[in-house]
Chains A and B, each alone.
Chain A
C-alpha cells in the first residue's frame, strides 16, 4: 500500500509533482489512479436512507396507532438509535466502497477498480467505446456531481460507471475519452499529451414542452387513463357501489407512471452534433447527456403513433450495441417527438447517405406511402397477403438502397426501420404453415440487442429469397469498405468537421 491509497480528494490526487496540466505523475503500474468525488458515499447512501425512510414511513402508516404509542413511550429512543445505527452502517460501507473505487485512463483503455469484499478490476478498450453518458440524478445535481458512464458492447451490465465526479471533471473526462477513442490523441503521443479543446457542437433540434405534453396526451396509454377515469366512476354510479373507487388509483398508477417517465425523460430534450458524435441532453429530475460516436448506431427507427398521424409527429429510436434493452430504456431515444423535418434531420445525423438519388421523395414514400410505389422501390406484400394482414398489406415492405435496408410497416401507425448494410449482423427468413399456404414468408434482419427488431411479414416467398440474398451480398460489400474504428481520423481525412444537411432534411415539404 502506498500513500496513493489514502483518502485524497480527486483532482488533486496522488503523490508526485503535478504536471503543468494538473495531472499527477504515474504510479508504479504506469497508471495514474484517481478517486471519485468524496461526496459520493453521501449521494449514493442517500438512496439507501431514502428507501429505509420510505419503508419506515410505510410501516408507520400501516399501524399508525401503534406507532404513536411507540413514540410516546421510551421506544422513540430505540427507534432513533436503530435509525442512527443503520445510517452509520450504510455510510460506513459506502465510504469503504468509495475508498476502494479508483479509476485510471491510459492511451488505450479505461481502468476501474472497485469492490470491498468482491474486488473487481475492469478495463474497457477505448476503441470499443460505444457511447459515453453523463448522468446526473437529482441528488447529484444538488452537489454539482455527475456520473460518467462508458458503454462497451459487452452485453448486460458491461458499462464502466465512474460515479460521482465533479460535473466539470466529468465533462472534461468525456471529451478526453472521446478524443482518445476517436484517434485525435494517439498512443504515440503518450498519456500526458494535451487533449484538444472540446470540439464545438452545433444545436440540431430540441423538443418544446408543449409538444412533449401533446405527444404524451396523444398516446394509447393516455386513452386508457381517460377511459378508466371515466368508466370507473360511471360504473360506480350505475352499480351504486362506491367500493370500486379503490381500484382507480391502482389501475391508473402504472399507466401514469409510464407517462410520467416519458415526460420526465423527454423533458428539455436537446440534440446537437459535434465531430465526436451526437449529443443528446434530456431529463427533468435525472439529467442525462449522451454522446453517441458516429458509426456506433446499429439501426434507426422512425415511428408515428396512431394518434400522432394528424400532427405528423415522429419518434426516432436507435439501436446502440452498448445500451442493450432495458424496460422503458431512454438511452436509445434519438428524438422523443418531432415534426417530420426534425425526424428526418435526426435520421440524417445517423445515416447521412441513404444511397438513393432523391432522398426526400424516397423518405416520403417510406413515411407516408403505400404500395410498391415506383421511385421508392419498396417490395411490398402480394395481394394474396390481404387475408393475413388486411390493413397493412399494401404498406409493409422492404426497400434496399445502396447503403441500407429500409423496412416499412403499419397502416395507421407507421414504423420505418433503417438498417445500414455495414451493421447487419445476420439475415433470417422464416415461414409457418399458414404462410406457406399463402406462399408468403417473413424476412428478419438481425441487429444488436435493442428496441429495434427489423422484421417484415407476409412478403411473397420468392421476394423474400431475393431480398435476403441481396442483403447478404450488399452487407458483404459494405463490410469490406467499412470505416475504421477510430472515426475522427476519417472525419479529418475528409476535411469536414460537420457537414450541412443534405436533401433529406433541407428539401422542405
Chain B
C-alpha cells in the first residue's frame, strides 16, 4: 500500500509493508458522522419549504455540500489508515489532508486498550490503542476486525514484555 498521493514521502519509510484497516470502518464512520449533518439538513429543508424563507435553502445547500464532502473524504481517510509491525516498533499512519505517522517502540508500551462501541460492534470492528508513559503518543488503530484486534493486543503485550524498558 502506498500513500494516497502515490509519491514516496516521509510517511512511507522504506521497507515498510502497511496493513490496511477494515473497509467496514467506512460504514462505521459514515453512520456516526452523517446523522449530525443529515438530520439538521432535513429539518431545515422542511422549515424552508414551510416558511418560504429563501435564505434557509442556502444553509441546506451548504449542509448538502458538507454531506458530499464527508461521503468523499471518509473512504479516503480509511484507505489512508495503516499500521505496520516492525521488529522493535509499531508504526501507525493516518490522515489524508492532515497526515501523521507515529512510531511506538514495543518496550515503551505501558498498556493496550481494545475498544468497540455500539456502532463498531454493529460493523464488526474494534479499535486498539497503545499507551506509553507519554500522553502525547497518539497510537490509535480504529477499524480492526475483532480477531485481528485481539491478535494485535496479545502480540503487542508479548513484545512489550520481551523488550520492556523503564520509563
Contacts and interface: CB of A to CB of B under 8 A. Distances in A.
A425 interface: yes
Contact of B102 (A426, A431, A461, A469): A426
Contact of B134 (A130, A426, A468, A476): A426
Interface residues of B, number: 30
Nearest to A295: B166
B67 interface: no
A431 B105 contact: no
Nearest to B136: A446
Interface in A445-476: 446-449, 453, 461-462, 464-465, 468-469, 472, 475-476
Contact of B9 (A433, A444, A465, A485): A465
B18 interface: no
A429 B137 contact: no
A446, A462, A476, most chain B CB atoms within 10 A: A446
B99 interface: yes
Given A426-B134, A462-B10, A475-B105, 5 more contacts: A429-B100, A430-B95, A449-B134, A465-B10, A468-B10
Contacts of A42: none
Nearest to A440: B10
A444 to B, nearest CB: 7
Contacts of A447: 134, 136
A431 B7 CA distance: 15
Nearest to B102: A428
B166 A425 contact: no
Contact of B10 (A429, A432, A444, A446): A429
16 contacts: A321-B133, A426-B105, A426-B108, A426-B139, A428-B100, A428-B137, A429-B100, A430-B100, A432-B99, A444-B136, A447-B134, A447-B136, A449-B135, A453-B136, A465-B13, A472-B89
B107 A430 contact: no
A393 B138 CA distance: 27
A489 to B, nearest CB: 14
A479 interface: yes
Contact of B101 (A428, A432, A449): A428
A485 B13 contact: no
Contacts of A430: 95, 98-101
Interface of A: 130, 153, 296, 298, 321, 422-423, 425-433, 436, 441, 444, 446-449, 453, 461-462, 464-465, 468-469, 472, 475-476, 479, 482, 485
B132 A426 contact: yes
A425 B97 contact: no
Given A426-B104, A441-B10, A461-B10, A446 B134 contact: yes
B97 A433 contact: yes
B161 interface: no
B57 interface: no
B167 interface: yes
Shortest beta-carbon contacts, A-B, top 9 = A465-B10, A425-B134, A446-B134, A430-B100, A425-B132, A428-B102, A426-B104, A426-B137, A479-B165
A427 B136 CA distance: 10
A321 B166 CA distance: 11
Contact of A464 (B10, B104, B134, B138): B10
A153 B11 contact: no
B113 interface: no
B74 interface: no
Contact of A427 (B11, B98, B102): B102
B103 interface: yes
B111 to A, nearest CB: 12
Contacts of A436: 99
A35 B102 CA distance: 48
B88 interface: yes
Contacts of A462: 10
A429 B11 contact: yes
B99 A425 contact: no
B106 to A, nearest CB: 10
Contacts of B98: 430-433
Interface in B78-137: 88-89, 95, 97-105, 107-108, 132-137
B69 to A, nearest CB: 14
A462 B9 CA distance: 7
A476 B88 CA distance: 8
A468 B166 CA distance: 21
Contacts of B95: 430
Contacts of A422: 165
Contact of A153 (B10, B138, B163, B167): B167
B95, B102, B133, B139, most chain A CB atoms within 10 A: B133
A422 B9 CA distance: 27
B10 A472 contact: no
Given A431-B10, A472-B89, A423 B167 contact: yes
B13 A469 contact: yes
A449 B11 CA distance: 26
Contacts of A431: 10-11, 98-100
Contacts of B139: 426
A458 B161 CA distance: 36
Nearest to A484: B166
A464 B116 CA distance: 34
A297 to B, nearest CB: 10
Contacts of B104: 425-426
B137 A446 contact: yes
Contacts of A465: 9-10, 13
B96 to A, nearest CB: 9
A426 B10 contact: no
B133 A153 contact: yes
